[in-house]
Amino acid sequence: MELAIDLESLAQGIARDGFVVVPNVISEELLERAQTAIERIIETMRAEGIDTFSESLDPNEANLRLYHLAAWDPVFIELLRHPVARALVEATIGPHWLVSNFTANVALPGSGSMNVHSDQALVVPPPWTEPWAINVIWCLDDVHEANGATRYVPGSQHWARFEDVPGDLLARSVAFSAVAGSFVAMEGRVWHTSGANVTKDERRAMAFAYYTRDFIRPQVNWAMVMPPEDQAGLDDEARRMLGMSVMGNISIGGALTRMREGRRPDLRIAPLRG
Ligand SMILES: O=C(O)CCC(=O)C(=O)O
């Protein structure tokens, strides 16, 4: 299924519009496993007395917030490594990235919007002149305006500082629409929010895989939230994505490295003086 996808035009869509919707990108089987995992996490949180309401984010308890999904169930690591997601992450923020966070927002009828924000502005001070972050938003249900699909502000990826941000953000925002099993790849500078779920009986589950350039400290310290026995089972690639390699922040290089330009084109070599 992935073979039919034109990655270059999807990446161009993100560069032009700030986002792209990739429909039906996973199998029914993978979608069902992710949906089941979300249900299981909610049950476990309730059983263990972990609050699903995040008072700092949401206006009422109809939004269920699930954090650090990759530490709860390996199906989310599978989503993090999805080849189309990864290709769009790398086309947008380059080859050196980490998974900063992976959360779900399950919006039940009656849920309202959070504050409109840009995810890059949460982790990097202005000016925001290029994308250093990207969200791959997995739609685990059909999402549309009435059930509270994520809303984005068109053109907001061009706002470089807080002074550029207008006051009427919600009025300017537009809802995404996608079927379950799709994702929306949205670069980190796009201002957005959750919609209000005004349906009587529709649940809206979306999971936000948030990738950032690797010099930005991730929002989650994966080594602290993932049980040691699960960490022991991770392969090298998963450890690298989650920032659990032995070394960190060594990818850019600079004057310290003795690598010769050309041998490692991924390293930027600063000229040595004198
Ligand atoms: O749930 C949504 O639609 C948006 C969530 C979001 O932007 C966030 O959690 O930062």
Q: Which pair of structure tokens corresponds to residue 179?
A: 């079927």
pLDDT of 3 higher than 50: no
Residue 220 lies in a domain: yes
Residue 59 lies in a domain: yes
Say whether the peptide bond before residue 218 is cis (omega within 30 degrees of 0): no
Domain count, the chain: 1
> How remote is the CA of residue 3 from the centroid of ligand 1, in Å?
30
User: What range defines the domain where residue 71 resides?
Assistant: 2-241
Residue 259 lies in a domain: no
Residue 254 lies in a domain: no
Ligand 1 pocket residue status of 70, Cβ below 6 Å: no
Ligand 1 nearest-atom number relative to CA 206: 1
Give the confidence band of 265 by pLDDT, cuts at 50, 70, 90: low
Helices assigned H by DSSP within the chain: 7-17, 28-47, 74-80, 83-93, 119-123, 169-172, 222-225, 228-232, 236-241
- CA dist 267 and 269 (Å) reads 6
> How remote is the CA of residue 8 from the centroid of ligand 1, in Å?
27
Ligand 1 pocket residue status of 204, Cβ below 6 Å: no
How far is the CA of 205 from the CAs of 132, 176, 179, 213, 240, in angstroms? 26, 13, 11, 26, 27
- CA dist 170 and 11 (Å) reads 26
Q: What is the pLDDT of residue 38?
A: 98
Residue located nearest, by CA, to atom 1 of ligand 1: 194
Q: What is the pLDDT of residue 1?
A: 45
Quick: pLDDT tens for 213-258.
999 999 999 999 999 999 999 999 999 999 998 888 777 766 666 6
- CA dist 99 and 102 (Å) reads 7
> How remote is the CA of residue 12 from the centroid of ligand 1, in Å?
24
pLDDT of 152 higher than 90: yes
Task: Say if CB 14 and CB 52 are below 8 A apart.
Answer: no
Nearest to 112 by CA among 181, 47, 195, 50: 195
pLDDT of 97 higher than 80: yes
Q: What is the pLDDT of residue 18?
A: 98
Ligand 1 pocket residue status of 105, Cβ below 6 Å: yes
* Ligand 1 pocket test target in 68, 208, 210, 219 with most atoms within 8 Å of CB: 208
Q: What is the CA radius of gyration of the chain?
A: 19
Residue 209 lies in a domain: yes
Residue 261 lies in a domain: no
Using the structure block, give the residue that is written with the tokens 């009656």: 110
* Mean pLDDT, all residues of the chain: 93
Quick: pLDDT tens for 129-143.
999 999 999 999 999
Q: Summarize the confidence of residues 137-155 as an average pLDDT.
A: 98
Walk across the sheet containing 97-107 and list its strands: 19-22, 183-187, 133-139, 204-213, 97-107, 63-66
Q: What is the pLDDT of residue 245?
A: 84
pTM of the model: 0.92
The enclosing domain of 72 has a CATH number of 2.60.120.620
AA identity, residue 116? V
Residue 152 lies in a domain: yes
> How remote is the CA of residue 148 from the centroid of ligand 1, in Å?
10
Tell which wins on pLDDT, 9 or 256: 9
Q: Summarize the confidence of residues 168-178 as an average pLDDT.
A: 97
Residue located nearest, by CA, to atom 2 of ligand 1: 194
Q: Residue 234 — φ and ψ, nearest 5°?
A: -75, 145
* Dihedral sign computed on CA atoms, order 149, 154, 160, 165: negative
> How remote is the CA of residue 272 from the centroid of ligand 1, in Å?
45
Ligand 1 nearest-atom number relative to CA 149: 3
Q: What is the pLDDT of residue 249?
A: 79
Ligand 1 pocket residue status of 182, Cβ below 6 Å: no
Residue 270 lies in a domain: no
Q: What is the pLDDT of residue 4?
A: 75
Specify which residues 103 forms β-bridges with.
Answer: 208
> How remote is the CA of residue 86 from the centroid of ligand 1, in Å?
20
What distance separates the 2 farthest-apart alpha carbons in the chain?
A: 71
